[in-house]
Amino acid sequence: MEEKHAEKKESPAKTYLNRIRLYDARIESGLQELSDLEEMVTRITPVLKQDVVSSSSNQDKLGDTVAKIADLRVKINRDVDAFVDLKQEALAKLAKVEKPEYYRLLRWRYVNYYTFERIATEMNYSYRNITKMHGRALQAFEKVMEKEGVMENILEVKGLKKQFGKHKVIRGVDFNLKFGEKVVILGPSGSEKSTFLRLLNWIEIPTSGEI
C-alpha cells in the first residue's frame, strides 16, 4: 500500500517574511533582464545607422525592445518601492516580538538571509536548538501579525484593467487573497487567465487599477 503524507502547510508568518526575499530576487532578475535588453539595443543601433535603408524588421525589433525596456523599468521601480515598504513594515513588526533572541533570529534569517548554521554560530546555539527556536519565533511573530491585522490579506487587487491597443482584456477585477488561502482561477481558453497572473506578478503592466 502506498503511504500518503499530508502536505505541510507553511505558516502565515513564514509566508509573509519570505516575501522580502521574493521581491529581492524579482528585482535582481529584472535588473539582469534590463541589462540584457539594453545590450541588445546597443548592438542593433549601429547596424541601423550603417544601413541607410534599414529593413522594417530591424526597425520593429528596435522599437519593440525599447518598449520592453520602458515597461521593465516601470516594473522594477514598482518592485523596488514594494520591497522597501515591505522591509520597513516587517522590521517594525519584528521589533514588537517580545523576546530579543526571537527578533534577532527572524531578522537574520529573513531580512539578512543568514543560514541557520550562521545564526547558530552567531547566537552560540546548536543547529538543532536554532531550528526549534525558529518555529517558536515564527509563532510569536504570528501573534504580532494577528494583533496588527496583517493576517487578513496577502494580496489585494482593486479595479484592475488591462488593454492592448483598443482591445480590452481585463475589465476591472477586484480580488483578495488571504494568508494561507489557496485559490484556483478557472475559465475557458482565451479568457486571459495567463494575462491576469502576469499582471499579478508585474510581468505585464496594468492599464489601471491597484495591486
Neighbours of 87 (CB within 10 A): 16
| Beta carbons of 192 and 147 less than 8 angstroms apart | no
pLDDT at 92: 93
Confidence (pLDDT) at 1: 38
> Tell me, what's the pLDDT at 45?
66
Please give the Cα distance from 37 to 72 (Å, whole number). 10
3-state secondary structure of 204: coil
Cβ neighbors of 176 (< 8 A, separation 6 or more) are 153, 155, 156, 157
The residue to which cell 539578512 is assigned: 112
φ, ψ (nearest 5 deg) of residue 142: -65, -35
C-alpha distances (whole Å) from 39 to each of 12, 25, 29, 62, 98 are 41, 21, 15, 12, 50
Q: Which residues of the chain have pLDDT under 50?
A: 1-7, 52-53
pLDDT at 115: 96
* pLDDT tens per residue, range 163-204: 887 888 888 888 888 766 778 888 888 888 888 888 887 777
Would you state the pLDDT for residue 135?
Answer: 96
What one-character-per-residue DSSP string does 144-195 give? Answer: HHHHHTTTS-SEEEEEEEEEETTEEEEEEEEEEE-TT--------TTS-HHH
Which residue reads 489601471 in cell numbers? 208
Nearest CA to 134 out of 147, 150, 123 is that of: 123
